[in-house]
Amino acid sequence: MPERAIGIFDSGVGGLTVLRELRRQLPHEELVYLGDTARVPYGTKSPQTVGRYAREAARFLVGQRVKLLVVACNTASAVALDDLAAIHRLPVVGVIEPGARRALEVTRSGRIGVIGTEGTIRSRAYERALHAGNPDVDVCVAACPLFVPLAEEGWAGHAIARLAAVEYLEPLLQRGIDTLVLGCTHYPLLKPILQEVVGPGVKLIDSAEETAKTVAGLLAAHGLERRGGEPRPPRYFVTDVAERFERVGGAFLGAPLAGVTTVTLD
């Protein structure tokens, strides 16, 4: 089992921010990534549809004989995590619980902001995760749908991204948050602008980093760590043509991306 890969899926390129963190924290692990690029975005779709897509993506990765599954998409984690954990007999890790746990560790005022896609915010999954850890925290949420296309356009540092951030974050700042959870795979790319807009008094929580830490802990707890041997390059699969994924994904990964295989999930 330890020699098997970790399976990671997202609606598209966004989950590469999680893969990047996994590579950094767990360099010996082999990673298999699936981006459901034919059906992205998940963030605007119904829970029923996202649930079906997530089941199909998970089934594909389990077919690749992975030892652990990472749902590297906030929207899919919000609506499908329990379902996937019930279907598959392997550890399934989402991105919401790790980010929520870290936010609870960091907050001093107990006022926590969460930003994400419409689907994630509508699901109230972050409120549930935060209140499960501490029922007294005040959670203030905002959907920021423009951030995904801005990040994919390579405009994460652009003045338009700044304007959008000011607009979206104003109500959260009014509430006096001291912690902001980046509840979407794309948002780590906007970190510099978001930090500038919220100011130094607000701590940003990057779900990708926290999720990689959770995966490391679970592998250790289950005796599933690959401890040595030759490093293996990640394997990438997508459900549409590879070209856009390779081009846009490079920015998410912070390195050139090649060798992507197109698959169908049915």
Query: Would you please indicate which residues are annotated as catalytic (active-site) residues?
Result: 73, 184
239 binds ligand DGL per the rule CB under 6 A: no
# binding residues, ligand DGL (CB under 6 A): 16
How many Cβ atoms sit within 10 Å of the Cβ of residue 139? Answer: 22
| Nearest distance from C-beta of residue 18 to ligand DGL, angstroms | 9
Contacting ligand DGL (CB under 6 A), which of 42, 60, 237, 252?
42
Residues in 56-115 at the binding interface with ligand DGL, rule: CB under 6 A: 73-75
Q: Is 262 helix (H, G, I), strand (E, B) or coil?
A: strand
| Nearest distance from C-beta of residue 266 to ligand DGL, angstroms | 20
Question: How many whole angstroms separate alpha carbon 145 and alpha carbon 188?
Answer: 15
The phi and psi torsions of 143 (rounded to 5 degrees) equal -80, 135
Question: How many whole angstroms separate alpha carbon 148 and alpha carbon 188?
Answer: 11
| Nearest distance from C-beta of residue 101 to ligand DGL, angstroms | 18
Residues in 111-170 at the binding interface with ligand DGL, rule: CB under 6 A: 117, 120, 148
Q: Are 189 and 64 in contact (CB under 8 A)?
A: no
Runs of H (alpha helix) within the chain: 16-25, 47-63, 74-87, 96-106, 118-123, 125-133, 147-152, 159-174, 191-198, 207-222, 242-253
> Which region among 54-62, 124-132, 165-173, 178-186 touches ligand DGL (by CB under 6 A)?
178-186
| Nearest distance from C-beta of residue 64 to ligand DGL, angstroms | 20
Kindly list the residues in this chain that would bind ligand DGL in the complex (CB under 6 A). Answer: 10-11, 14, 40-43, 73-75, 117, 120, 148, 184-186
